[in-house]
Amino acid sequence: MAAAPEALATFFSGQAPLFFYFLVFGALMTFVATPILTYYFGKRWYCSWVCGCGGLANTAGDPFRQLSDKSLKAWKLERWLIHSVLVFITIVTVVLWINSLSNGEVLGDLGASMSEVYGLYIGMIFSGVVGVGFYPVLGTRVWCRFGCPMAAILGIIQRFFSRFRITTNGGQCISCGNCSTYCEMGIDVRWYAQRGQNIVRASCVGCGLCSAVCPRGVLNLENGIVSARIQD
């Protein structure tokens, strides 16, 4: 603790190691900026405005967005897979930190092995080959729906603590199904629209296409009081 003031001084003077600045930036983005931005804008601030995977899905994958599976089975698989990946990457991160702090003496090669497994099966095969190469088969946003740990974290915050929602005017809905057809995240938007219920889903990336393709203006992306988002 005696070295803390000196370390803080080197940080503000620009003499601290570069890695330390990246660490502080990452911590601020993770524990400060992410919850605040998601509270006000939902996960769309990242998934639709920042993320490169989302940008690729909305360009190269856009012609295939209607292929996204809207079934209940797909929704259950989505929740199971994406949260499993989140748990796995959390464990890998903790193991790597422990290994690093102990200079590899506590866990040996376990940390490196887990990192390689994640990089191969999740980072390359799932995210790269399946997530991008299977656009014409599974629709766009495969990785975003079923595997992205960042999307899982943002989805949890959005579902329970965000002001963002898509409001619906059920009296104007003509059940054309455009909203559900073009939802890249596999959400049956029409089901909510027919009942006049707000759409508050962890998977929604707030792209706004459901609202854009609605011929009656039923759907609107809005921010409001958190307690009034979900109707009984």
Residue 171 is encoded by which pair of tokens?
């009296």
Helices 110-117 and 72-101: crossing angle in degrees, nearest 10, is 150
Is 140 strand, coil or helix? coil
pLDDT in tens, 182-202: 999 999 999 999 999 999 999
| pLDDT band of 103, cuts 50, 70, 90 | confident
Contact between 112 and 127 under an 8 Å Cβ cutoff? The reply is no
Among 37-51, 83-97, 173-187, which stretch is predicted with the lowest mean pLDDT? 83-97
Give this prediction's pTM. 0.85
Structure tokens at 183: 């939802």
* Token pair recorded at residue 14: 């620009």
Cα–Cα dist 84/138, whole Å: 20
SS3 223: strand
Q: Is the pLDDT of residue 16 over 70?
A: no
Contact 199, 229 (CB under 8 A): no
- Residue 171 DSSP code: G
